[in-house]
């Protein structure tokens, strides 16, 4: 298992979209959420744009003013970006390598 496998970016981006949707559904602006968290607005922006990751404890605190839990995030993540079986990930990686090689050969 790779911690940074082929679907890492997709799932990481999905988490950011989930967090942003929670904020929007809560009717909060980035400024308002930042104020409730006791942080600057740019931190919220960076979290939503994948420039800044949250550790598990930070994520719990981030979700508190949104009325959400880590379990909510995980459930939504599995719904929109499910974990792929290892064989599928390996096949995808192999297909991408083959496509890259074909592109290089054509140059």
Range from 41-50, 63-72, 76-85 carrying the lowest mean pLDDT: 76-85
* Other beta carbons within 10 Å of 74: 12
Q: How confident is the model at residue 1 (pLDDT cuts 50, 70, 90)?
A: very low
Q: Which CATH class is domain 8-106?
A: mainly alpha
pTM of the predicted structure, to 2 decimals: 0.76
How do residues 22-56 score in pLDDT, each as one tens digit? 999 999 999 999 999 999 999 999 999 999 999 99
Three-class SS state of 67: coil
* Domain ranges (residues) in the chain: 8-106
Rounded Cα–Cα distance for residues 76 and 22 (Å): 11
Structure tokens of 42?
Answer: 């740019």
Residue 95, phi-psi category: left (phi > 0), alpha (psi -120 to 50), beta (remainder):
alpha
Structure tokens of 12?
Answer: 């990481």
């Amino acid at each position: 298992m790779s911690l940074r496998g082929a679907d890492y970016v997709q799932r990481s981006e999905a988490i950011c979209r989930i967090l942003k949707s929670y904020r929007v559904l809560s009717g909060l602006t980035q400024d308002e959420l930042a104020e409730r968290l006791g942080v600057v607005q740019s931190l919220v922006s960076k979290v939503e744009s994948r420039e800044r990751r949250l550790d598990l404890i930070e994520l719990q605190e981030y979700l508190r003013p949104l009325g959400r839990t880590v379990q909510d995030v995980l459930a939504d993540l599995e719904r929109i970006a499910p974990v792929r079986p290892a064989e599928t990930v390996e096949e995808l990686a192999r297909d991408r390598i083959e496509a890259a090689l074909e592109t290089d050969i054509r140059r």
